[in-house]
Amino acid sequence: MPNDLRCNALSFSLVVIGALAVAADPSKPANASEPPNVVFIFADDLGWGDLSCYGQSRIKTPNLDRLARQGTLFTQFYVAGSVCSPSRTGIMTGQNPARHRIFGHLANRQSNQRRGIPDALDPNAPTLPDMLKDAGYVTAHFGKWHLGNVSPDQYGVDVFRTDKFCNVAGKQVIDIWSAEARPVCAANILDATLDFIREQADAPEPFYVNAWFSDPHATLNPSPDQLDRVKNLAPQGVPFPGVAQIYYACVLEMDRQIGRFMDQLEQLGVADRTLILFSSDNGPEDFQIRNAAHSGVGSSGPFRGRKRSIYEGGIRTPLIVRWPGHVPAGKVNRTSVISGLDFLPSLAAIAGQSADAIVGGDGEAMDDVWLGANRQRRTPCFWEWRYRVFGHPANMPPQLAVRDGDFKLLVNPDGGRVELYDLASDPGEQDNVAANHPDVVQRLTQMVLQWNKTLPDSPRDPGAGLKSWRWP
């Protein structure tokens, strides 16, 4: 469908700028006016605290640590949803996923219908690849998809090899889930990415690539060599690997493959003109989920909550941004709150489009922050989760959340179970200060309940928003 019809569908207008609008001025350095290539590496179920540059002490992740030293590490980055499909929808559209009825992960048709969820992201929705194609980019997607049963070319992706779709001649879809494929899935995804980049290395157009991993999403099956790299985590005196050994063997392999990928970008001569983004789609899985029973020990760092929870541990994830000569190297930004909804307007600005040209998005252009500014966010962030949360009762939040400044409020749609946290002094969300700030509670409660009224309705789990235990 033409882009103008897509824009009408969601009141989301984009100003099209051709590649000539960003042509280089020969009197300036080569990359001063040319938009960069962009590679977005998205881990799956990796926790905020799983990398050594974020405080992990059980293993070292030297290649992602190196990426952070070469760029900027952000400590206050949030995805738009606490599970896969909503988080990815937020990245791709710049809009809250619930606006597209994507309240949870996209599954089979029966499961989707039961939860009032579509079978795919609406192909009429304008997307990040749509916008970048309009700005002169060649777009690609390799690895996990999880946006439904519609092919990526319907969302502005030129070249793709995912776990469901492939339009690369002579190639098949990438197996990222079978037991046999799990030890090499990160390598296979990055190899497909490198094949594309080699073809584009000397092309006049910049490229945008999603390299979306399935690691360290369960079910994991590291090879003997991968397990041996973390043998210090193995239990003693028994013939089987430990849970931490399985999980961190896969994290370490992902890190190793990213290091190989970065080395290849250097050899291809494109590293210095390529913006690298690294993040994770949500917090770590809980070991009480069956397919993670052997591996569900990822770290949410100092935060409360895990995957599915809209406490910090379920929605705050790593973000590393690297672009030599543009993004400050070796910087840790502890000030700026950034959302996955910001990717589209931020990359629009970097690609040469005005952020003011994007109407109907829920994010904020944060390209100035990526490039070194230390400023507070101007717009609040909202989340919702209308289903059960597995694991410890302490990780089970109310159904709605809003963050504005340092305050984060959680509440149920009926106005009950109000929790207010000052994240500047209490990032672990342990001290509910609602009684101390009635004015803040009133303002934020009104804000988030009004936002909730704008969202489509759907069936909700009976236990959603409750912190319960089956007491004897």
pLDDT over threshold 80, residue 27? no
pLDDT at 111: 97
Task: Measure CA 462 to chain center.
Answer: 28
Confidence category of residue 356, pLDDT binned at 50, 70, 90: low
Query: Domain spans of the chain?
Result: 3-21+36-380, 383-453
DSSP state of 24: P
pLDDT at 360: 84
Convert the pLDDT of each residue in 35-60 to its tens digit. Answer: 999 999 999 999 999 999 999 999 99
pLDDT at 16: 29
3-21+36-380: CATH topology: Alkaline Phosphatase, subunit A (3.40.720)
pLDDT at 357: 59
Q: Which residues of 242-257 are buried (b: 16+ CB within 10 A; e: fewer)?
A: bbbbbbbbbbbbbbbb
Is 181 in contact with 175 (CB distance < 8 Å)? yes
pLDDT at 30: 35
Tokens representing 292 are 């993670």
**Could you give the percent of the chain with pLDDT greater than 90?**
90
**Could you give the percent of the chain with pLDDT greater than 70?**
92
In CATH terms, 383-453 corresponds, of 1.10.760.10, 3.40.50.720, 3.30.1120.10, 3.40.50.2000, to: 3.30.1120.10
Span 298-302, average pLDDT: 98
Convert the pLDDT of each residue in 79-101 to its tens digit. Answer: 999 999 999 999 999 999 999 99
Of 220-229, 355-364, 397-406, which range is least confident? Answer: 355-364
Q: Which residue has the higher pLDDT, 2 or 375?
A: 375
Report the relative pairing of strands 331-333 and 319-322 from DSSP bridges: unpaired
Of 229, 249, 250, 227, give the one whose Cα is nearest residue 239: 227
Q: Which residues of 432-470 are buried (b: 16+ CB within 10 A; e: fewer)?
A: eebeeeeebbeebbeebbebbeebeeeebeeebbbeeee
Find residue 407's DSSP bridge partners. Answer: 404, 422
pLDDT over threshold 90, residue 468? no
H/E stretch holding 206 reads: none
Confidence category of residue 108, pLDDT binned at 50, 70, 90: very high
pLDDT at 25: 34
Q: Under 8 Å CB-to-CB from 210, ≥6 apart: which residues?
A: 40, 42, 140, 141, 142, 143, 157
- Name the average pLDDT for the chain: 93
* Backbone conformation region of residue 386, classed left if phi is above 0, alpha if psi is from -120 to 50, else beta: alpha
Span 432-446, average pLDDT: 98
Span 399-411, average pLDDT: 98
pLDDT at 355: 60
DSSP state of 240: S
Q: Record the pTM.
A: 0.93
Q: Which residue has the higher pLDDT, 59 or 360?
A: 59
Convert the pLDDT of each residue in 120-137 to its tens digit. Answer: 999 999 899 999 999 999
pLDDT at 33: 66
